[in-house]
Structure 1
Amino acid sequence: MSILSAARTHVGHVRTHNEDDMLEHPVAGIWAVCDGMGGHRGGAMASHLVTRTLAALPVPADGQALLTGTLGAIADANAALQAHAAAQEGDICGTTIVALLIHDRHFATVWIGDSRAYRWRQGRLERLTRDHSLVQERIDQGEITEAEAETAPQRNILTRAIGAAPQVEADVRHGALLPGDLFLLCSDGLTRLLSDAEIAEEMTRPTGLCDRLVDLCLDRGAPDNVSVLAVTATDFPDADAQTVRLPMPPDD
């Protein structure tokens, strides 16, 4: 199949440095967005460390190897950031990650933190990730609504991040890939300013998608770094086949 991707990142109108980092590694089947935390050096170093570790992964033999390698790279990056924090006397730096893995005719999303993945399929937008944040926990417990979460004072507090604890667990979601599926990976610099409905409206027009989304954030003040990465798969061989072997492991 042919896989097309485009990406754009911007420091925004308030921050003086960009702590986001992105990876496009089509040979291995990995695309990722990371949003660093911990100040200029710490956050940028953390996000770049993760993308650099993923970029070093070899071409996988199958979907299981791709997923296992990605999770292993995240664990290695977490250990390195923990060691860095110890050397700096507890000065913790970390990063979120949202990654898209594609092998054969299947995909997996892997995430930690509040960077998100969306899929546009046959005229419908679906959020594939669920934020690891205090606000999301409050939503899940029925304490606040999705609308109230947009202005909640604790919306910046994450419950998971690479580098924040000795062990970190990623969530994984996977499924079959269909011709024309359009995926969007983004940092929270986008989702703090645009609603899912607004994102859906823009995804109806794939050409220039990343530029339009970033420009919308800039028009609204862009108080944070904003990064977007779009991936779509086309030209499927035997696209009408009914039976497909799943190379990704089953959900728990």
Structure 2
Amino acid sequence: MKLYLPVHCHEIGQRSNNEDAIYPEEVSEKNRLFMVCDGVGGQAKGEVASSMVCTGLSKYLSENPMGNIEDETYLPSALQSIEQHMGEYLETHPEAMGMASTLTLLLISDTDNKALIGWVGDSRIYHIRDGEVLFQTKDHSVVQSMVDMGEITEEEAQTHPKRNIITRAINGTNPTRIDQKVIGDIKANDFFFLCSDGIMENLSKKEIGAWFKESKTVDEIKSNILANAQGVTKDNYSMYLIKISG
């Protein structure tokens, strides 16, 4: 598959520092691996955690190329390697204890019309075609659990006081699980949208659908996203936007 030149943003928002991390920081049409991570921990070095996840996973995937995109053991093995590395870091940097990171990962196949996505926490990945969200990752969060149990609606979840509490994160001390899915039958003009939860503070699913029409370019959509977030979003906000050209 070929890609249009992907676009990204990596903004501090109204925070004092940026705990998000993205990969790659410099992009070309040849990139097939994309990640957005949101660090957790504030003074406990959330920015270190997110950077370690992005850097470590990109190195692991480079040194251990994936043979089959449908191999369900690959991402868990990669995550285990990162957790071990983070654990070793914490042994020599006890001041960073408590740091953690979410993860969204997109790996696009070079050989067929498939992509592998993986996620931990409440950063999200969307697969969008003609303005319709075909797939959306499910947050590992307290409010998502409440929605699943029918205690609150999706609309109530957007403003719930516990909306920022996540139930999974990569922290190097307690092993976690990565959810994954293979997206098949990818078509020209499909979009993949990876974002930290800061992007979603003031963005609804309806707005996402309206912006991702077939005629829209990645630059036009990025402009809409930034206009929606700048000066309003309290959290850091980061995203990657990838459009399939054929």
How has the CA–CA distance of structure 1 residues 83 and 92 changed in structure 2, closer, same or farther, with 3 Å as cutoff?
A: farther
How has the CA–CA distance of structure 1 residues 155 and 86 changed in structure 2, closer, same or farther, with 3 Å as cutoff?
A: farther
Partner of 2:66: 60
- Out of 107, 110, 130, the residue aligned to residue 115 of structure 2 is 107
CA contact (8 A) 1:85 1:93 kept: no
Pairing 1:72–2:82 present: no
Distance, in Å, in 1 between the alignment partners of 2:223 and 2:32 is: 23
Distance, in Å, in 1 between the alignment partners of 2:240 and 2:136 is: 15
CA contact (8 A) 1:109 1:128 kept: no
Pairing 1:92–2:93 present: no
When structure 1 is superposed on structure 2, of 101-110 and 182-191 the one drifting more is 101-110
Distance, in Å, in 1 between the alignment partners of 2:95 and 2:54 is: 25
Partner of 1:194: 203
Partner of 1:82: 87
- Identity across matched positions, percent: 31
Deviations 1:65-95 (A, max 9, x none): 6x65443332222223334445517821000
Distance, in Å, in 2 between the alignment partners of 1:148 and 1:63 is: 37
Deviations 1:21-76 (A, max 9, x none): 111387673111000011256111111111111221224344246x6544333222
Distance, in Å, in 2 between the alignment partners of 1:39 and 1:122 is: 38
CA contact (8 A) 1:114 1:158 kept: yes
Deviations 1:183-227 (A, max 9, x none): 1000000112111111222222233122321221114x1100001
Pairing 1:157–2:168 present: no
Pairing 1:9–2:14 present: no
Equivalent AA in structure 2 for residue 178 of structure 1: K
Distance, in Å, in 1 between the alignment partners of 2:223 and 2:81 is: 33
* Alignment of structure 1 residues 5-44 onto 2, 5 Å: 5-12=6-13, 14-24=14-24, 29-39=32-42, 42-44=45-47
How has the CA–CA distance of structure 1 residues 154 and 164 changed in structure 2, closer, same or farther, with 3 Å as cutoff?
A: farther
Partner of 1:206: 217
Equivalent AA in structure 2 for residue 185 of structure 1: L
Give TM-score, length-normalised by structure 2: 0.85
Partner of 1:250: none
How has the CA–CA distance of structure 1 residues 75 and 28 changed in structure 2, closer, same or farther, with 3 Å as cutoff?
A: farther
Q: CA deviation at 1:150?
A: 1.3
Runs of 4+ in 1 over 3 A off after TM superposition: 24-28, 59-62, 67-71, 82-87
Deviations 1:101-159 (A, max 9, x none): 11121012100000001111133123420000011001101111111111211111110
How much is the aligned-residue C-alpha RMSD, in angstroms? 2.2
Distance, in Å, in 1 between the alignment partners of 2:202 and 2:89 is: 33
CA contact (8 A) 1:121 1:181 kept: yes
Distance, in Å, in 2 between the alignment partners of 1:11 and 1:159 is: 24
CA contact (8 A) 2:2 2:244 kept: yes
Distance, in Å, in 1 between the alignment partners of 2:196 and 2:139 is: 11
Equivalent AA in structure 1 for residue 236 of structure 2: N
- Aligned residue for 1:82, secondary structure, equals helix
**Unpaired runs of at least 5, structure 2:** none
Give TM-score, length-normalised by structure 1: 0.83
